[in-house]
Amino acid sequence: MNIRERTANNATVLHVEGDITYATRATFKTAIEKARYAGCRNMIINMEQVRFVDSSGLGLLALVAHAFRAGQGRFSLLNPQPYVREIMNLANIHTLIPIYSREEDALAGRTELAVT
């Protein structure tokens, strides 16, 4: 797994490359926690390069979503691939984490544009 961090407006965008699974969750969690400790209140995970999310990966996303929600922060996903989107839909993730197709919508947090 390869994670690139970028700041856009007031948000931290993490470009994730590779699978979010049981095997990679420590790396993923560390990258997210690093940004949170640095004060990030609006995090966007760019999922374009993520081929697969397993059950551990989903759990981690839910956990992170809860943490941001508890801290009045925002957490959203950008452009998951069709198979990943299908896995997420089956677990109803889109009702917990907004999923966007365009980064500017994610940055603005426009709930009406979140796609299901």
Partner 1 sequence: MATEAHEQARSWQVAALSEVTVVIIDDEPVSRMTMAARLRKMGHRVLEADNGRKGLDLIRRERPHLAVVDWLMPEVDGPTLCQLVRQDRELKSVQLLLMTSNDRPAQIAEGLQRGADDFLSKAASKEEIFARVYAGVRASALVRDIEAAKDELSRYNRLLKDKQEELEAELRSAARFVESLLPAEGSPVAGTSIAWQFVPSLALGGDLFGISRCGNEDLCLFMLDASGHGVSAALRAASMNTFLHPDTLAQVVGSTEPGAVLTEANRRFPLTADGDYFTLWWGRLHVPSRRLTFASAGHAGAMVSRSGGASNWLNSPTFPLGFDPSAAFQSQRIELEPRDRLLLMSDGMYEVPSPQGDLWGRTRLLDAITSGRDLPLPACLRVCLEAARRWRGQPDFPDDVALVGIELS
Binding site for partner 1 (CB under 8 A): 22, 25, 29, 51-52, 54-56, 58-60, 62-64, 66, 83, 86, 89-92, 94-96
CB of 63 to partner 1, least distance (A): 4
Residue closer to partner 1 (CB basis): 62 or 113: 62
Minimum distance from residue 91 beta carbon to partner 1 (Å) = 4
- What phi, psi does 47 have (nearest 5°)? -100, 5
Nearer to partner 1, 4 or 69 (CB): 69
Asked whether the beta carbons of 7 and 37 are under 8 A apart, the reply is: no
